[in-house]
Amino acid sequence: MVSEQSNIRKQFMQGMEKGLDPDALSVEEIQKSGTNQTAVRKQFMQGMEKGLDPDALSVEEIQKAGTNQTAVTHLRSRWFYQICDICGHNFRLGDTVQILSNGSVVHDMPGLRCVGDKDVSQSEQHMTDRNEFYAGLEAAWPMPDEVPVKRLKADDPLLAPPRMGHGRACCRVCGYTFREGDQVIVCPCYPDDPKCQAAVHRDLLRQLHCWDMWKRRQDEFRAKGKGGVCLGMS
């Protein structure tokens, strides 16, 4: 009786698995056929990556060709949010990169030219044009006085390069490293004598609404008698 119930339970579980994944093989079927599902899964993942980015080469294809591959960062990119070994910034959505023949990934875009011969004059011209655009935008569409937003310039402490094992400063909400031109709000705690120097994005053009998210969460905490106004302690 116990053996019969075990068989019924086993058949039920196999039927349920088959219903959830009709193309999946059972353990017995895999053992009988000798099919390697790991290889099938790998091919599936490669096919999915190809569908998301048809022009992208796999690491194996890049290594075989011995040439770099240009790509644009998307949600499924394996390097998304990882740190570039050259500039120390993480990879954001939309970042143009070079996939090197050894499989590593580096930035390759104006302002973050991390591979090959860096055209400094072109990058400087791009930054100048961008800063002039932002200046005109801010003059035509200023932020409210109660929102202490600032745009990061090259000499800002938040843009200090990584050193002594410490990475670049990053937003306390989205986790992106701060870049020149980013619009941020520095922690409002002790404005006359800043203690933590934590900061978050408030950059509408880049669709980084981190300040609004943080403030909404703090308002909820304060309504419950919790929370404060320090970004560094949130």
Q: What is the pLDDT of residue 50?
A: 64
User: What is the token pair recorded at 170?
Assistant: 């990053």
Please give the average per-residue pLDDT across 148-163, as a whole number: 88
Q: What is the pLDDT of residue 210?
A: 92
Q: Which tens digit of pLDDT belongs to each residue from 162-200? A: 887 789 999 999 999 999 989 998 886 755 665 677 889
Q: Which tens digit of pLDDT belongs to each residue from 211-222? A: 888 888 877 766
Helices (runs of H) and strands (runs of E) counted in the chain = 6, 7
Question: Would you give the distance in Å from CA 195 to the centre of its chain?
Answer: 28
Tell me the fold of 142-223. Herpes Virus-1 (3.30.40)
Q: Structure pTM?
A: 0.65
**Rounded Cα distance, 100 and 79, in Å:** 12
CA atoms within 13 A on the CB side of 81: 5
Q: Which tens digit of pLDDT belongs to each residue from 2-45? A: 566 666 666 666 666 666 655 566 666 666 665 566 777 767 76
Q: How many CB atoms lie within 10 A of CB 134?
A: 14
User: What is the token pair recorded at 152?
Assistant: 């990061």
Q: What is the pLDDT of residue 69?
A: 85
Please give the average per-residue pLDDT across 142-152, as a whole number: 74
Q: Which tens digit of pLDDT belongs to each residue from 101-146? A: 888 899 999 889 898 765 555 556 656 676 677 677 667 766 666 6
| Burial of 60: CB neighbours in 10 Å, binned 0-12, 13-18, 19+ | exposed
- Maximum Cα–Cα distance for the chain, whole Å? 83
